[in-house]
Amino acid sequence: MSQIEIRSSVELPSKRIPLELNTADGLTLIGELALPLDKEPIATLIMLHPLPTAGGFMDSHIYRKAANRLPALADLAILRFNTRGTSSPHGTSQGEFNGGVLEKLDVEAAVAYAHEHNLPNIWLVGWSFGTELALKYGPDLDVLGAVLLSPPLHRTSVAELERWNSVDKKLVALIPELDDYLKPDEAAIRFLAIKSIELINVLDAKHLWVGESATKRVLDEIVKVTNPTKFPLPEFYTP
């Protein structure tokens, strides 16, 4: 049986379910759930995308590749969605961008969907703007924790960071060495407000994690947190 090399454009077998999320203020958000093809998922990742006013959406490349690979390689369920007012090839969510305030309801709707559909071991994965949503609202949600990719800390207050000290949730942040907004030295200072957070500084990486080596590093670190039995990810997939 031939093996499939894990390259940038590879899409491994999974079960894809288009979905709609209904927010508490009456909006419908567009999303997709990717599941392992022939087994139950071990954990669930709710992907909170980069800033929509700068081109971020549920199909941003790291999240698209997570959905294409992780159900098959790591037995993970990947729930992606467009926050209010965001468009992607999957469609446009109702509403308007609200700077991370009313987006609280969007994140709550995604977590509620996961629980209503009995998805196991729920984690938030935020990227850039998505990390702000995870940091601001994660302490109040029924999730195990969050993985942060390129956190800019533009919208999250010190008081909101400190709220993580009162909950039993795991928090891991990947800080690119060459980030445009928050480099490792500054991140080490800004995140002192959280007593228990793992900061992973990634050499030569940039805010957008461009390139297959950066993609693999990000997906490896996500899997290491959420289903460590599948870490590290393989370079080939056997059908």
Radius of gyration of the chain (CA): 17
What pLDDT score was predicted for residue 113? Answer: 98
Per-residue DSSP letter, 48: E
Residue 1: predicted pLDDT: 59
Q: Is residue 206 part of a domain?
A: yes
Residue 175 belongs to a domain: yes
Is 6 a member of any domain? no
Sign of CA dihedral 204, 208, 211, 215: positive
In angstroms, the CA 70 to CA 147 distance is 15
Peptide bond into 18 cis (omega under 30): no
pLDDT beneath 50, residues of the chain: none
Pull the structure tokens for residue 120. 């196991």
Is 123 within the bounds of a domain? Answer: yes
Which pLDDT belongs to residue 2?
A: 83
Contact 58, 52 (CB under 8 A): no
Structural domain containing residue 227 = 17-231
What distance in Å separates the CA atoms of residue 202 and residue 214, rounded to the nearest whole number? Answer: 9
Query: Is 178 inside any structural domain?
Result: yes
The model's pTM is 0.98
Asked, for residue 7, whether it belongs to a domain, the answer is no
Say if 122 falls within a structural domain: yes
H or E stretch at 187: helix 184-190
Q: Look at residue 237 and tell me if it is in a domain.
A: no
Q: Number of folded domains in the chain?
A: 1
CATH number for the domain that contains residue 22: 3.40.50.1820
